[in-house]
Amino acid sequence: MPRNPGMTDEKIIELYKSGLSYDKHCNKIGLSDRAIRNVLIKRGCIESDWPSENP
């Protein structure tokens, strides 16, 4: 699923930090909640809940 035009990683982070709910994120950004979460993990805004590969 492609992002809506103009939705960069930085814009996704801004929306996340604004406290907007994930339901509204998905509609505005055009990505699933999992895809949004992956962007936030990739950019270091949130930590993954998956176990580390290097314990």
Residue 54 pLDDT > 80, yes or no?
no
Q: How far apart are CA 21 and CA 42, in angstroms?
A: 20
Task: Report the predicted TM-score, pTM, of the whole model to 2 decimal places.
Answer: 0.77
More confident: 15 or 51: 15
DSSP state of 19: T
Backbone angles phi, psi at 8, to 5 degrees: -95, 170
Provide the number of structural domains found in the chain.
1
Range of the domain at 13: 9-42
- pLDDT for 20 equals 81
26 occurs within a structural domain: yes
- Kindly report, residue by residue over 9-48, the tens digit of the pLDDT: 999 999 999 988 878 888 889 999 899 999 999 999 888 7
Cα-Cα-Cα-Cα dihedral sign, residues 9, 12, 17, 18: positive
19 occurs within a structural domain: yes
| The token pair that represents 35 in the structure block | 């895809």
